[in-house]
Amino acid sequence: MNLELATRNRRRFGCSALVVSWLMLTFAAAAAQGLTIDWWTLDGGVGTSTGGAYAVTGIIGQSGLQSMSGGTFVLSGGISGGGAFTLTTNTAPSSIAMPIITPPGGTFTNSQKVTLSCTNKSAKIRYTLTGADPNSSSTVYKTTGIILTNSVTLRAEAFNGTNASAMAMAKFTIIVPPPPIIVPTSLLVATEKKPYTAPALAVTPGTGYGAFKWSLAKGSKLPAGLKLNARTGIISGKPTKTGTFNFTVEVTDARKKTGTQALSLTVD
């Protein structure tokens, strides 16, 4: 039995010297780029023919046992006299390089910057974070990178006109910290009409994310003469009245998550 592809070197194998029939089949398929196969059988033989990008094996003279695949095609069917054959063309390999995802996935804390690149400089990279495969309408990658703040699977393809690369995919797990927890929970005693600065309010390590913004909760007021610095969390000033004052402070992190804490300040 012998099969050959145009532009490939021919190799012939046979287990019987008796050639009982000769059959030439020509398959013309655009996706297979004009594939031509020369085929003949050997009486009762068992043979294997290989060459280039294809291989076929089977028992000669019995139908339904042979198939051949390679490059962009798959050939299957019987080889006995009058047997039927089917040539199926597969999608040709893309000439556009698959995008490179950096880092290639993993587990990260708070957030992670991801970059995409392609060796085909003229190609446009498109990506998704929704679980859907990219298409020609998906988000175009910008060289500034992608900031991930939640766990996602990133899929990316490179497009050049109507041609697309194979899809690159990477799973990113982002460990999101809990909302900020405010410390301390008590304040130093202040003295009326004397300069006062309380220790800076802070958040418990491992809670909250990024820069913090401090404020008073809705309806809360500091003692007259004192103010809260929104950036540092420091309460300072000169209190003008004595008494015990209750109020609630609030902190917001970069994820817009908030934490609150009820405080009490005594002015003597």
pLDDT tens digit sequence for 13-50: 333 332 323 333 333 333 334 444 444 444 444 444 44
pLDDT for 89 equals 53
pLDDT confidence bin for 174, thresholds 50/70/90: very high
β-partners of residue 190 are 267
- Taking alpha carbons only, the member of 222, 227, 228 closest to residue 241 is 222
Q: CA 215 → CA 44, 80, 84, 232, 257, distances in Å?
A: 91, 86, 80, 11, 13
- pLDDT(71) > 70: no
Domain with CATH 2.60.40.10 in the chain: 100-175, 182-267
The answer to pTM > 0.75 is no
- Which of 1.10.620.20, 2.60.40.10, 2.60.120.680, 2.40.10.10 would CATH assign to domain 100-175? 2.60.40.10
Sequence-separated (6 or more) residues with CB below 8 Å from residue 247: 216, 217, 220, 221, 222, 262, 263, 265
More confident residue, 61 or 177: 177
Look at the alpha carbons of 30, 31, 32, 33 in this order and tell me if their dihedral is positive or negative.
positive
On whether the CB atoms of residues 102 and 115 are closer than 8 A, the answer is yes
CATH superfamily of this structure's domain 182-267: Immunoglobulins (2.60.40.10)
Partnered with residue 259 across adjacent β-strands are 251
Residue range 235-255: mean pLDDT, rounded: 95
Looking at residue 9, its pLDDT comes to: 31
Nearest to residue 195, comparing CAs of 243, 238, 240? 238
Whole-number pLDDT of residue 185: 83
Q: Could you give the CA distance from residue 115 to residue 135 in angstroms, rounded to a whole number?
A: 19
Quick check: bond before 103 cis, omega within 30? yes
